[in-house]
Structure 1
Amino acid sequence: MGAVVDVVAFIVTLVAFVAAAGHGGYLAMLSSAARKRPGGQPAVDFARKRMPVTGVTLGVTLLALLISSGGVGADIVAILLGGGGGIASVKALQSSQTRFRSGRY
């Protein structure tokens, strides 16, 4: 039973960490491309404003990934932290994409 919970916790936290890193990568690419274009400063500012959200979700998911190497109790906490951080990362990424594509930055 403990091994199954450990594997599930590892998978959940790893997927959450990848989602948080993906949001950070999206903002980094957006910022990099905007710096190369004339008049891209508003997009750079938009990406810079969204970076703290990415940092927090990346930190939470990394903490969950580290906690997942503990016992069953720690694995359950890691699943909750990782799941919450992953969901928050995906929502933040969708929000960033929607706001950028609609020009509300």
Structure 2
Amino acid sequence: MHLIAVLVALVALLAALANGGYLAMLKSAATKRAGGEPVVHYVQERMPKVGITVVLAVLALLMTNGGFIFDVLAVVVAAGAGATAAKELRSTHERYGKAS
């Protein structure tokens, strides 16, 4: 169970960091373009959720150092954080990811 908990926590952390990285690149590109203010505002609204998902994924990874009960809790926390981060990344990509 420990290995599963660690892997789920690592995948959740990867998803949360990918979401944050994508938003950071999107903001960087938007600040260089005229009329990019709405995108910058969108990214700034999403950043607190990125921070929360990263913190939860790290917390889940730390929880894997406990016993079986902590491993189960870590899987639950990591699955929630990873699913939220993946959903946010998907919705942002669908909104702004199309090449023009």
Q: Percent identity?
A: 43
Q: Which residue of 1 aligns with 2:8?
A: 12
Per the alignment, residue 82 of structure 1 pairs with 78
Tell me how far 1:101 sits from its aligned partner. Answer: 4.7
Distance 1:46 1:8 in 2: 35
Aligned counterpart for 1:67 among listed residues 63, 67, 77: 63
Q: Report the AA paired with residue 63 of structure 1.
A: L
Q: TM-score, normalised by structure 1?
A: 0.87
CA root-mean-square deviation: 1.2
Partner residue in 2 for 1:23: 19
Give ranges in structure 2 of 5+ residues lacking alignment.
none
- Matched residue of 1:70: which SS? coil
Which consecutive unaligned segments of at least 5 residues does structure 1 have? none
Per-residue deviation, 1:6: 0.9
1:47 corresponds to 2:65: no
After TM superposition, the score normalised by the length of structure 2 is 0.91
Which sits farther off after the overlay, 20-29 or 87-96? 87-96
1:58 correspondence with 2:89 = no
How many residue pairs end up in the alignment?
Answer: 98
**Deviation of the 1:66 alpha carbon:** 0.7
